[in-house]
Structure 1
Amino acid sequence: MTMPDSKIEVMNLEAIMGDRFGRYSKSIIQERALPDIRDGLKPVQRRILFAMNKDGNTYDKGFRKSAKSVGNVMGNFHPHGDSSIYEALVRMSQDWKLRAPLIEMHGNNGSMDGDPPAAMRYTEARLAQISGLMLADIDKETVEMTWNFDDTEKEPTVLPARIPNLFVNGATGISAGYATEIPTHNLGEMIDASIYLIDHPNASLDKLMEFVPGPDFPTGGIIQGVKEIKKAYETGRGRVVVRAKTAIEDLRGGRQQITVTEIPYEVNKAQLVKRINDLRINKKVEGIADARDETDRNGLRIAIELKRGANATGVLNYLLKNTDLQINYNFNMVAIDDQRPMRVGLKHYLASYVDFQKEIVTKRTRFDLNKAQARLHIVEGLIKALSILDQVIKTIRASKNRRDAQDNLVSAYQFTQRQAEAIVALQLYRLTNTDVTALENELANLNERIAKFKQILLDDHELALVIKQELRAIKKSFDSPRQTQIESEVQKLTVDTKITVANEEVMVLVSHAGYIKRSSMRSFNASDFSDNGLREDDYPLLVTKTSTLSHLFMFTNQGNVIYRPVHEVMDAKWKETGEHISQTIGLADDEEIIAALVVDQLEQAGSILMASSDGQVKQSAFADFKPGSRYKSRPTLAFKLKSSDARVVAVHYYDPLGPKQSLVAISKAGYGLRFAVDELPVTGLRTSGVRAINLKDDDQLVDLALVEESDHLALITQRGAFKEMLASDLELGARARRGNLILYKLKKNPHEIADFIGHAADYQGALEIITSRPVFQDVLVADHHLGTAKSNGTFVIDTDTQGVPVLIRKKIIISQPNDDEHENDQSVEQLTL
Structure 2
Amino acid sequence: MMTLERLMGDRFGRYSKSIIQERALPDIRDGLKPVQRRILFAMNKDGNTYDKGFRKSAKSVGNVMGNFHPHGDSSIYEALVRLSQDWKLREPLVEMHGNNGSMDGDPAAAMRYTEARLSKIAGLMLQDIDKDTVEMTLNFDDTEKEPTVLPARIPNLLVNGATGISAGYATEIPTHNLGEVFDALIYLLNHPDASLDKLMEFVPGPDFPTGGIIQGLDGIRKAYQTGRGRVVVRARTKIENLRGGRQQITVTEIPYEVNKAQLVKRINDLRLAKKVEGISEARDETDRSGLRIAIELKRGANAQGILNYLLKNTDLQINYNFNMVAIDDQRPMRVGLKHILTSYLNFQKDIIRRRTQFNLNKAQRRLHIVEGLIKALSILDQVIKTIRASKNRKDAKQNLVDQYSFTEDQAEAIVTLQLYRLTNTDVTELQKEEANLNKQISEFTLILNDDNELSKVLRSEMTKIKKEFGNPRRTTIQNHVDKLKIDTKVTVAKEDVVLLVSHAGYIKRSSLRSFKASSIDENGLREDDYPLLIQQTNTLAHLFMFTNLGNVIYRPIHEIADVRWKDTGEHISQTIGLAENEEIIKAMVFDNLKRPGTFLMGTNDGQIKQSSFADYKPGSRYKSHASTGIKLKNADSRLVSVDYYEPRDQNQSLMVVSHEGYAVRFDIAEVPTTGLRTSGVRAINLKDDDYAVDYVIVNEGDDLALVTQRGAFKEMAASDLAIGARARRGELVIHRLKNHPHKIVDFLAFSSDSTETLEIITDRPAFQDVAVTDHHLGSAKSNGTFVVDTDTQGTPVKIRHKFGAILAVTND
For the aligned pair, the TM-score class normalised by the smaller chain equals over 0.9
Tell me the distance in 1 between the aligned counterparts of 2:716 and 2:640: 21
Tell me the distance in 2 between the aligned counterparts of 1:431 and 1:452: 31
Retained in 2: the 8 A contact 1:273–1:293?
Answer: yes
2:807 alignment counterpart: 828
Q: Verify: 1:385 aligned to 2:376, yes or no.
A: yes
Tell me the distance in 1 between the aligned counterparts of 2:564 and 2:298: 29
1:19 alignment counterpart: 10
Q: Verify: 1:629 aligned to 2:608, yes or no.
A: no
Tell me the distance in 1 between the aligned counterparts of 2:100 and 2:76: 14
1:708 to 699, 713, 735: 699
1:658, distance to aligned residue in structure 2 (A): 5.4
Deviation per residue, 1:104-136 (Å, 9 max, x gap): 111111100111111111111111111111111
SS of aligned partner of 1:696: coil
Structure 1: which 5+ runs fail to align? 1-8, 815-826
2:469 alignment counterpart: 478
1:613 alignment counterpart: 604
Retained in 2: the 8 A contact 1:542–1:831?
Answer: no
1:301, distance to aligned residue in structure 2 (A): 0.4
1:654 alignment counterpart: 645
1:344, distance to aligned residue in structure 2 (A): 1.1
Retained in 2: the 8 A contact 1:543–1:830?
Answer: no
2:574 alignment counterpart: 583
1:438 alignment counterpart: 429
1:340 alignment counterpart: 331
Tell me the distance in 2 between the aligned counterparts of 1:718 and 1:509: 28
Deviation per residue, 1:506-530 (Å, 9 max, x gap): 1111111111111112222222222
Q: Verify: 1:281 aligned to 2:272, yes or no.
A: yes
1:509 to 500, 503, 506: 500
2:254 alignment counterpart: 263
SS of aligned partner of 2:95: strand
Give the partner amino acid of 2:335: V
Tell me the distance in 1 between the aligned counterparts of 2:113 and 2:748: 85
2:659 alignment counterpart: 668
Retained in 1: the 8 A contact 2:537–2:810?
Answer: no
Tell me the distance in 2 between the aligned counterparts of 1:33 and 1:658: 75
Tell me the distance in 2 between the aligned counterparts of 1:396 and 1:658: 131
Give the partner amino acid of 2:66: G
Tell me the distance in 2 between the aligned counterparts of 1:658 and 1:28: 79
Deviation per residue, 1:127-154 (Å, 9 max, x gap): 1111111111111111111111111111
Tell me the distance in 2 between the aligned counterparts of 1:829 and 1:668: 28
1:811, distance to aligned residue in structure 2 (A): 0.5
Deviation per residue, 1:429-455 (Å, 9 max, x gap): 222222222212211111111111011
2:86 to 95, 98, 101: 95
Give the partner amino acid of 2:491: T
Give the partner amino acid of 1:614: D
Tell me the distance in 1 between the aligned counterparts of 2:436 and 2:289: 52
SS of aligned partner of 2:36: helix
Judged with a 3 Å threshold, the aligned counterparts in structure 2 of structure 1 residues 513 and 658 are, in CA distance, closer, same or farther, namely farther
Tell me the distance in 2 between the aligned counterparts of 1:73 and 1:730: 100
1:493 alignment counterpart: 484
Q: Verify: 1:725 aligned to 2:716, yes or no.
A: yes
Deviation per residue, 1:364-390 (Å, 9 max, x gap): 000000001001111111111112212
Retained in 1: the 8 A contact 2:589–2:810?
Answer: no
1:147 alignment counterpart: 138
Retained in 1: the 8 A contact 2:536–2:810?
Answer: no
1:788, distance to aligned residue in structure 2 (A): 0.8
Tell me the distance in 1 between the aligned counterparts of 2:733 and 2:759: 22
1:72, distance to aligned residue in structure 2 (A): 1.2
1:487, distance to aligned residue in structure 2 (A): 1.1
Q: Verify: 1:304 aligned to 2:283, yes or no.
A: no
Q: How does 1:399-438 map to 2 (within 5 A)?
A: 399-438=390-429
1:831, distance to aligned residue in structure 2 (A): 9.1
Tell me the distance in 1 between the aligned counterparts of 2:740 and 2:65: 102
Tell me the distance in 2 between the aligned counterparts of 1:260 and 1:499: 19
1:78, distance to aligned residue in structure 2 (A): 1.0
Report the identity percentage. 75
1:644, distance to aligned residue in structure 2 (A): 1.1
Tell me the distance in 2 between the aligned counterparts of 1:597 and 1:696: 32
1:35 to 13, 23, 26: 26
Give the partner amino acid of 2:36: Q
SS of aligned partner of 2:546: strand
Give the partner amino acid of 2:555: R
Tell me the distance in 2 between the aligned counterparts of 1:427 and 1:456: 36
1:75 alignment counterpart: 66
1:4 alignment counterpart: none
1:16, distance to aligned residue in structure 2 (A): 1.8
Give the partner amino acid of 2:433: E
1:542 to 533, 536, 542: 533
1:57 alignment counterpart: 48
Q: Verify: 1:230 aligned to 2:209, yes or no.
A: no
1:680 alignment counterpart: 671
Give the partner amino acid of 2:4: L
Tell me the distance in 2 between the aligned counterparts of 1:310 and 1:271: 24
Q: Verify: 1:115 aligned to 2:106, yes or no.
A: yes
Retained in 1: the 8 A contact 2:663–2:730?
Answer: yes
1:596 alignment counterpart: 587
Give the partner amino acid of 2:665: R
Retained in 2: the 8 A contact 1:523–1:573?
Answer: yes
Q: Verify: 1:520 aligned to 2:499, yes or no.
A: no
Tell me the distance in 2 between the aligned counterparts of 1:441 and 1:692: 115
SS of aligned partner of 1:554: strand
SS of aligned partner of 2:507: strand
Tell me the distance in 1 between the aligned counterparts of 2:538 and 2:713: 37
Tell me the distance in 1 between the aligned counterparts of 2:662 and 2:3: 86
2:165 to 168, 171, 174: 174
TM-score, structure 2 normalization:
0.99
SS of aligned partner of 2:640: strand
1:830, distance to aligned residue in structure 2 (A): 4.5
SS of aligned partner of 1:93: coil
Tell me the distance in 1 between the aligned counterparts of 2:102 and 2:523: 55
Give the partner amino acid of 1:190: V
Retained in 2: the 8 A contact 1:542–1:830?
Answer: no
Tell me the distance in 2 between the aligned counterparts of 1:444 and 1:416: 21
Tell me the distance in 2 between the aligned counterparts of 1:124 and 1:295: 25
1:589, distance to aligned residue in structure 2 (A): 1.0
1:530 alignment counterpart: 521
Tell me the distance in 1 between the aligned counterparts of 2:635 and 2:82: 68
Tell me the distance in 2 between the aligned counterparts of 1:768 and 1:831: 20
Give the partner amino acid of 2:73: D
Retained in 2: the 8 A contact 1:543–1:831?
Answer: no
Q: Verify: 1:793 aligned to 2:772, yes or no.
A: no
Give the partner amino acid of 2:440: R
1:657, distance to aligned residue in structure 2 (A): 4.1
Give the partner amino acid of 1:267: V
2:178 alignment counterpart: 187
1:13, distance to aligned residue in structure 2 (A): 2.2
Give the partner amino acid of 1:236: G
1:560 alignment counterpart: 551
Retained in 2: the 8 A contact 1:605–1:622?
Answer: yes
Judged with a 3 Å threshold, the aligned counterparts in structure 2 of structure 1 residues 659 and 402 are, in CA distance, closer, same or farther, namely farther
SS of aligned partner of 1:439: helix
Retained in 2: the 8 A contact 1:372–1:449?
Answer: yes
Tell me the distance in 2 between the aligned counterparts of 1:227 and 1:31: 34
